[in-house]
Amino acid sequence: MIRTVRQLADGREIIYYDEAPHERRATDTRDLPSVAASSEIRRDPLSGEWVAMAAHRQTRTYKPPADLCPLCPTKPGKPSEIPESDYDVVVFENRFPSFSQHVTGESGSVDGMGLVPTAPGRGRCDVVCFTSDHNGSFATLGPRRVRTVVDAWADRTESMSTLEGVAQVFPFENRGEEIGVTLSHPHGQIYAYPFVTPKTQRMLDVARAYRAEHGRPVLGDVLDAERKSGARVIVDSTHWTAFVPPAARWPVQVLLVPRRQVPDIPALSGAERDDFAEVYLEVLRRCDALYDRPLPYIAAWNQAPVQIDRELGWLHLELFSILRAKDKLKYLAGSESGMAVWINDATPEQIADRLRAVR
């Protein structure tokens, strides 16, 4: 992989990840205003969770026509976020970031009373374009391209982990309008949070308690049990196992877990990265065949925090979808949204059977 760093017209960083040598000399000719991020985080005094306020994102790009897609390569008379006329994988700073290194301000509290702590939303948000093909998808990438994407995730995780104030790095992909995607070009994002996310903190607390009681990592025991049972396993390879979690919340939900405990993507070996490409593409093909249509999904990498509890983390990818039938969505109703108590219309075993039955 060949890495080339350039700058966009407003000073944002853009990084090309090429599979063969390319001269990346194209310049961004657009007249862009400086990025003005005003993110703030506030801690909910009732839950103890941090919430981000990013009002400047109201003006972000929303469902542009295909010929004006900002993630396609630049064409004559149609400049985009990528100045080059073609690319393999490219990453750039989000123009409308939820978190930014350019945020100013000091920590304090709402109304100065101390009840609701506040702080600048200092971090970073990157956009990851998986291919220059506007009509493609992650599932249509070849294994080599997926490996390039994995290497880009690893490179960005390492770099973002060194930024001031960053506590956790989260690569993810949202796919499909039903999920809320407003740019249809195949892409994902990477958030560098200034705090450990609530979900990760809960998982770390469970992992810590389980290790204290059993002396072993909880995800390791879950992985061993799933492989032994096989009832929910979708793909089992040399380095990875993909299975429906035994307490699945979503109508379609798959965990991809490496056999070896590693804290994050940079810690994966070359063989583990190559094997992931094959396993993930198999899972995505099955997901798209499930309802004979592209499956809307969120694919979320669970990585250990940057500085704390890294020995408790076990890297894994969680893919889930709100589609419960070809033309039916699972809406989060009162129990899920109000009390975070999930009610699934299918058992994990049924979900696994359906995914194994299609190809």
**Residues contacting 102, CB < 8 A, separation 6+:** 35, 37
Marked catalytic residue, from 187, 214, 239, 316: 187
Q: Which neighbouring-strand residues pair with 53?
A: 40
With b for 16 or more beta-carbon neighbours within 10 A and e for fewer, the 18-37 pattern comes to: beeeeebeeebeeeeeebeb
Query: For residue 81, which of 8, 137, 185 has the smallest C-alpha distance?
Result: 8
Say how many C-beta atoms besides its own lie within 10 A of residue 281's C-beta: 19
CA-based nearest residue to 89, from 144, 4, 18, 12: 18
134 is in an annotated binding site: yes
Q: Catalytic residue at 102?
A: no
> Any binding-site annotation on 239?
no
Output the six-digit token pair for 138: 């992650």
Residue with tokens 């309802």: 291
Q: Which of 130, 132, 109, 127 is nearest to 119 (CA)?
A: 109
Phi-psi region of 168 (alpha: psi -120 to 50; beta: other; left: phi over 0): beta
Kindly report the CA angle at 135 between 133 and 136, in degrees rounded to 5? 70
**Residue 276 to residues 68, 120, 157, 242, 259: CA-CA distances in angstroms?**
33, 36, 17, 10, 11
Residue 185 marked ligand-binding:
yes
Enclosing H/E stretch for 318:
strand 316-321
Q: Are residues 259 and 271 in contact, defined by beta-carbon separation less than 8 angstroms?
A: no
Beta bridge partners of 127: 92, 189
Asked whether residue 316 is marked as a ligand-binding residue, the answer is no
Binding-site residue ranges for Zn(2+) = 69, 72, 134, 185
Q: Which residues are catalytic?
A: 187
Binding-site residue ranges = 69, 72, 134, 185
